[in-house]
Copies of this chain bind each other. A is one copy, B any other.
Amino acid sequence: MSEKVTALDLAATDLSDATKSYFAKCEEKLGLVPNVLKAYAFDDRKLRAFTDMYNELMLGESGLSKLEREMIAVAVSSVNHCYYCLTAHGAAVRQLSNDPQLGEQMVMNYRAAELSPKQKAMLDFAVKLTERPDTIEEHDRQGLRDAGFSERDIWDIAATASFFNMSNRVAAAVDMRPNVEYHAMAR
């Protein structure tokens, strides 16, 4: 953990036991501790608030598959040109889909992917919400219903797209650096 993961001089000096144990679990499960967690580790409450929201959103129960949530994450991050999120979540799309091209398409331009009309509607909404949130109207929500999404699904699409509009900006603001391991994963 000696490497610098952000441009801010906020390195955690002493990790709490809770954080040490959480990081150990990451190492075990993922083979690495995602740098975003190290970035938040200077404050236990901030780290926990972030991980609680992230885990509920991306790993919790949802009508959206984990892959679909990662696709939203990457399509949003492409609009915002977020190096950290495109790297980390681009790898996740490649892994979860077993389709390296799909990961690249989400990074580069989701419109290049061959998607079902339902998934296309999902990403169109996520990207419109990213680019012009002020212009979302009832017909946009209705478009998702017409594509087959439930009320709860719409919430999850909105919450996921919105979360990455937050994460993209935290990462941009502090120049968060992704773990180098992501680049070679699932190519």
> Across the two chains, which residue of chain B brings its CB closest to A164?
B166
Query: Is chain A's interface secondary structure helix, strand, loop, or mixed overall?
Result: helix
- Cβ of A169 and Cβ of B158 under 8 Å apart? yes
Indicate the size class of the contact surface on chain A: 35 or more
- Given contact pairs A49-B49, A133-B172, A158-B173, enumerate 14 new A-B contacts (beta carbons under 8 Å): A8-B154, A9-B151, A10-B155, A42-B155, A46-B159, A83-B105, A86-B108, A87-B104, A129-B172, A129-B173, A130-B169, A141-B174, A158-B174, A162-B170
**Contact pick for A172, options B134, B166, B187, CB 8 Å:** B134
* A173-B161 contact given A134-B109, A137-B111, CB 8 Å threshold: yes
- Cβ of B80 and Cβ of A183 under 8 Å apart? no
- Cβ of A83 and Cβ of B112 under 8 Å apart? yes
* A80-B172 contact given A8-B155, A56-B46, A166-B163, CB 8 Å threshold: no
A7 at the interface (CB under 8 A from B): yes
A29 at the interface (CB under 8 A from B): no
Complex-state Cα separation, A57 to B40, whole angstroms? 13
